[in-house]
Structure 1
Amino acid sequence: MPFPMIPEALLRALTERGYTEPTAVQAAVLEPETRGRDLLVSAQTGSGKTVAFGLAIAPELVGDAERLPQAGAPLALVVAPTRELALQVKAELSWLYAQIGGRVVSCVGGMDPLAERRALGGGAHIVVGTPGRLRDHLERGNLRPEALRAVVLDEADEMLDLGFREELEAILGAAPEDRRTLLFSATVPREIERLARSFQTDALRIEAKGEGGQHGDIEHRAVVVAPQGIERAVVNLLRASDSPRAIVFCSTRAAVARLHGNLTERGFSAVAISGELTQSERSRALQALRDGRAQVCVATDVAARGIDLPDLGLVIHAELPKEPEVMLHRSGRTGRAGRKGVSVLVVPMNRRRMAERLLMGARVQAEWGVPPTADAIRARDAERLAAQARALLEEDPEAEDRAVARILAASHGAEDLAAVLVKVLRAPLPAPEDLAPVEAAPPRRPTYERASGEGEGVWFRINVGRDGRADPRWILPLLCRRGQVRRDEIGRIRILGRETQFEVAPGAASRFAVAARRPDADDPNIRVEPVTGGGRSGPPPGARPRREAPRQRMA
């Protein structure tokens, strides 16, 4: 049996949905030793984890019965970080439990709380919601936790990043002590481990295949562009793709609104999803994508969580994410459930090192190159339009159409008629953009070493050290960007407790000092200053700087 230990009705639901074999995470949570135990599961987005925890909690909900009992106080609670993800989870669990009489109710911010209260009052087997709204219903007595047999935290790392620790602790604290607790998370940082120790009992740690590494169904690319050419590169990437659906990520609501407006003006059928939209506006945007009225979604990171479009084959990072985990979450919108996808980082020339650091932190190997050129897109269009025209010619025209064709053929040649057909087919296509030429691959240079007879380098410091998780892997690119110097012009780096000292080649020190004093929007709290005394106040000879995993820089 490909899906062991689950009721026959759930097997039928899986078969009707086209499931023949479990994914890695689904197989892992259905192993015999997981039955009845708390689980701490790490798995990539798009790995089928919603169905995984839906199957994992089935023994607690159904037992040996053929159907669920009449809905009353909920038996299971699923907590998700965003409205979109919660509603997506509700939809997945609804079809999974439909054949055994399951009733799934959602409680999410942005929806009518009175309607949710009535739904809870009518009884539910599973409640899915966001942390703030669930806590509110708990405190008002609308959500009764006494019958809960299982609690699932989906994307627990994201909920902690969004500041929901207090809400999660309140929800878990209200649930019965003998319930099962399942934590699903893309990554398992210390915060998640502490949460697990506090609210789980002898949890079984499960790492699905490929955790934290490259997703086998996603092809990662990085394209280098001029700093002012990001938007034009996005246009050409969309035009060159054969994917029916694409999502473009921006970092802020303002950037989403600007790019969405520009893409729409260029002729793309695009929708926007960001935190400033109401839930009904987001739902309409997603429906437009699902029914084909829109092909492109421009979104912020948080707003896009939970979006699951079966034919979304392209993810574009129009703005670089700040953390490797964010990049993996973005990329995970494609390549889902065994389907192939492409994830493209748009990398301004002055952000190459940042992009390299992101890829390294995510353990992703990307193919570096440049965006498609306008000429390449026009050549590709010629092939597509020819194929489209041939497909039309193979159809049997109506008699009225043939009559018009005979009139036109009498006065125009076949080539002219074919040219008009191609022109009509080409008309809806947005025009490709001309891009400034750039170097395709990021240069790699050796670390600075003093030449024979060259004097001691000039020492500087920045106000972040071991206490701020300083790491040479992100410090070196930062120094090159702030000081407008090359890697081979940076020498020794000494990481101390509250500061980091570094050496700059004598010939580049003056240029570095002038450039590094300028305000920096990306790292406004990091200050660069010269070290008095030539930097000899650093660590004792032979001391090694502590190197830790890269993370967000802290002042």
Structure 2
Amino acid sequence: MTFKELGLADPILKALQVEGYENPTPIQEQAIPILLKGKDLLGVAQTGTGKTAAFGVPILHHLYNSQNGQQGKRRLKALVVTPTRELAIQIGESFTAYGKFTGLRNTVIFGGVKQNSQVNKLRSGVDILVATPGRLLDLMNQGYISFRDLEFVVLDEADHMLDMGFIHDIKKIISKLPPKRQSLFFSATMPKDIVALSRKMLGDFERVTIKPEQATAEKVEQGVYFVSKGDKPKLLILLLKERPNDSVLVFSRTKHGADKIGKKLRQADIMSAAIHGNKSQNARQKALGDFKDGKLKVLIATDIAARGIDVEELSLVINYDLPNISETYVHRIGRTGRASATGIALSFCDTEEQPYLRDIEKLIQQEVPRMPPHQFVDSEDEVVIKKEKKQQRSHNSNRNRNRNSNSSGGQNNHKNRNRNRRRY
């Protein structure tokens, strides 16, 4: 199937052609016809499957066809709510690209920066607004945003909104939406809270489920190093020095961990930058821009900050810390396996992370290939032995404490008996 066969407006087809889009991805092929009919949609799909075009293209198509040469100030007709600044900016850029020949106008609002320039754009009038929840509610409360003319609403990355604590903000936003609207709800996973939230937002809806886990795992060349926590920095430095020209995305489980990795790399004269929630918006955008442009070869990110990172020809993903949520592993390695591209994903696994690895392998239904022994690397057997020794040491320590406690208790009981004898 081609985009032309979907019956899209000519200006949108022209823009897609300029972007090099010929054939829709699975989610685009399934979702666009549903949305063109005006139905609500529940989409289960992860980042990197082509979601933005899946909802952006039909929204642009509807808005373009309903313009009818209308005059006066533009009124907000479409709203996209997404969890992070980076993802909001990326979605805004996509709307600009797909709608460049339609005459429609979009803008992006997010927190962490002064609101003046965002308010000025809203005042001048926009057709499409992409927003993070906090800033959206803030500007709504200040009276700068009205949902009176809203026709399309997209809630993107709903599960990560939940992870980031946005659930109450999202409920407030949903309560303010006009009853007559087309609603689109996207999430990579569907826990109970997300299902409940989707029921509040959606009316008569159809569901599209894209399960790329297996496909992603197959097209990305994977490997795992069994390495002690203390040797992880040395192994990372060695791997990066072996690939000086590759663009590498390094995942850390925490913000503090990302900063520590950056410090270790600087000490080894390896240029890198870390992006996470504690970094200023300008710092994050500069780091991401330099990485996309190839000026910076190594970017360190937390999972939430990495939402919205879409870099062509990303050579390598390194899981410095294995994620404790299996689906997150698939999201991470998918950064280097976009569309038809292939890539490499390497993971570091210490003794405490072995259960995470087992869960990941259960999800992707394959064993992650074990990397050959290295000067900083243990074999899997050695990791297990170390874990057993650690557990044995802990067991012995507890047993000794119990013995000392019993001995102490016995001595105390003997003293008490003597004391009682003296009393009587």
Q: Give the TM bin, normalised by the shorter chain.
A: 0.7 to 0.9
Give the SS at the match of 2:291.
helix
Paired residues of 1:94 and 1:104 also in contact (CA < 8 A): yes
CA displacement, residues 289-329 of structure 1 (integer Å, 9 cap, x when unaligned): 12222100011222221111112121111112121132223
- Structure whose alpha-carbon radius of gyration is higher: 1
Cα deviation for residue 85 of structure 1 reads 0.7
Cα deviation for residue 189 of structure 1 reads 1.6
Q: Measure the CA separation in 1 of the matches of 2:377 and 2:303.
A: 30
Cα deviation for residue 209 of structure 1 reads 4.3
Aligned residue number for residue 391 of structure 2: 484
Give the SS at the match of 2:46.
coil
Give the SS at the match of 2:336.
coil
The equivalent position to 2:82 in structure 1, one of 80, 83, 96, is 80
Aligned residue number for residue 328 of structure 2: 326
1:209-248 correspondence runs (5 A): 209-210=211-212, 214-241=216-243, 244-248=246-250
Paired residues of 1:224 and 1:441 also in contact (CA < 8 A): no
Give the SS at the match of 1:30.
helix
Letter in 2 for 1:198: K
Higher relative contact order (CA 8 A, sep 6+): 2
Aligned residue number for residue 127 of structure 2: 125
Q: Measure the CA separation in 2 of the matches of 1:282 and 1:322.
A: 25
The 3 A distance-change label for structure 1 pair 296 and 51 is same
Identity %: 32
CA displacement, residues 138-168 of structure 1 (integer Å, 9 cap, x when unaligned): 1111111111111111111100111111111
Q: Measure the CA separation in 1 of the matches of 2:171 and 2:108.
A: 20
The 3 A distance-change label for structure 1 pair 437 and 38 is closer
1:251-266 correspondence runs (5 A): 251-266=253-268
CA displacement, residues 339-394 of structure 1 (integer Å, 9 cap, x when unaligned): 212222111145323322233245564212247x5xxxxxxxxxxxxxxxxxxxxx
Q: Does 1:436 align with 2:343?
A: no
Q: Measure the CA separation in 2 of the matches of 1:514 and 1:128.
A: 59
Give the SS at the match of 2:136.
helix
Q: Does 1:96 align with 2:98?
A: yes
Q: Measure the CA separation in 2 of the matches of 1:70 and 1:340.
A: 48
Q: Any gaps of 5 or more consecutive residues in structure 2?
A: 403-424
Letter in 1 for 2:234: R
Give the SS at the match of 1:18.
coil
Aligned residue number for residue 310 of structure 1: 312
Aligned residue number for residue 164 of structure 2: 162
Q: Measure the CA separation in 2 of the matches of 1:333 and 1:279.
A: 22
Cα deviation for residue 513 of structure 1 reads 5.4
Aligned residue number for residue 414 of structure 2: none
Q: Does 1:171 align with 2:173?
A: yes
Q: Measure the CA separation in 2 of the matches of 1:100 and 1:482.
A: 66
The 3 A distance-change label for structure 1 pair 324 and 362 is farther
Q: Measure the CA separation in 1 of the matches of 2:212 and 2:221.
A: 14
Give the SS at the match of 1:147.
coil
Q: Does 1:55 align with 2:64?
A: no
The equivalent position to 1:275 in structure 2, one of 274, 277, 280, is 277
Cα deviation for residue 89 of structure 1 reads 0.8
1:26-425 correspondence runs (5 A): 26-31=28-33, 35-63=37-65, 72-210=74-212, 214-241=216-243, 244-361=246-363, 363=365, 365-370=367-372, 373=374
Q: Does 1:2 align with 2:15?
A: no
Paired residues of 1:318 and 1:345 also in contact (CA < 8 A): yes
Letter in 2 for 1:54: G
Relative to the length of structure 2, the TM-score reads 0.86
Paired residues of 1:67 and 1:101 also in contact (CA < 8 A): no
Paired residues of 1:62 and 1:68 also in contact (CA < 8 A): no
The 3 A distance-change label for structure 1 pair 360 and 67 is farther
Cα deviation for residue 73 of structure 1 reads 2.0
Q: Any gaps of 5 or more consecutive residues in structure 1?
A: 374-434, 446-479, 486-507, 518-555
Paired residues of 1:156 and 1:192 also in contact (CA < 8 A): yes
Size of the aligned set, in residue pairs, is 399
Cα deviation for residue 179 of structure 1 reads 0.7
The 3 A distance-change label for structure 1 pair 288 and 67 is farther
Paired residues of 1:221 and 1:343 also in contact (CA < 8 A): yes
Q: Measure the CA separation in 2 of the matches of 1:278 and 1:307.
A: 17
Give the SS at the match of 1:369.
coil
The 3 A distance-change label for structure 1 pair 437 and 366 is closer
Paired residues of 1:80 and 1:130 also in contact (CA < 8 A): yes
Paired residues of 1:273 and 1:298 also in contact (CA < 8 A): yes
Q: Measure the CA separation in 1 of the matches of 2:346 and 2:399.
A: 35
Give the SS at the match of 1:98.
coil
Q: Measure the CA separation in 1 of the matches of 2:42 and 2:400.
A: 47
Letter in 2 for 1:438: D
Letter in 2 for 1:484: Q
The 3 A distance-change label for structure 1 pair 249 and 444 is closer
The 3 A distance-change label for structure 1 pair 249 and 237 is same
The 3 A distance-change label for structure 1 pair 171 and 286 is same
Letter in 1 for 2:305: A
Q: Measure the CA separation in 2 of the matches of 1:319 and 1:239.
A: 19
The 3 A distance-change label for structure 1 pair 483 and 294 is closer
Give the SS at the match of 1:10.
helix
Paired residues of 1:28 and 1:208 also in contact (CA < 8 A): no
Q: Measure the CA separation in 2 of the matches of 1:103 and 1:33.
A: 20
Q: Measure the CA separation in 2 of the matches of 1:174 and 1:438.
A: 56
Q: Measure the CA separation in 1 of the matches of 2:44 and 2:326.
A: 16
Cα deviation for residue 333 of structure 1 reads 2.2
Q: Measure the CA separation in 1 of the matches of 2:193 and 2:395.
A: 43
The 3 A distance-change label for structure 1 pair 70 and 221 is farther
Paired residues of 1:256 and 1:272 also in contact (CA < 8 A): yes
Letter in 2 for 1:244: D
Give the SS at the match of 2:170.
helix
Q: Measure the CA separation in 1 of the matches of 2:70 and 2:185.
A: 24
Task: Return 27-36 or 264-273, whichever deviates more.
Answer: 27-36
Q: Measure the CA separation in 2 of the matches of 1:150 and 1:212.
A: 32
Relative to the length of structure 1, the TM-score reads 0.66
Q: Measure the CA separation in 2 of the matches of 1:356 and 1:516.
A: 33
Paired residues of 1:227 and 1:350 also in contact (CA < 8 A): no
Aligned residue number for residue 23 of structure 1: 25
Cα deviation for residue 56 of structure 1 reads 3.0
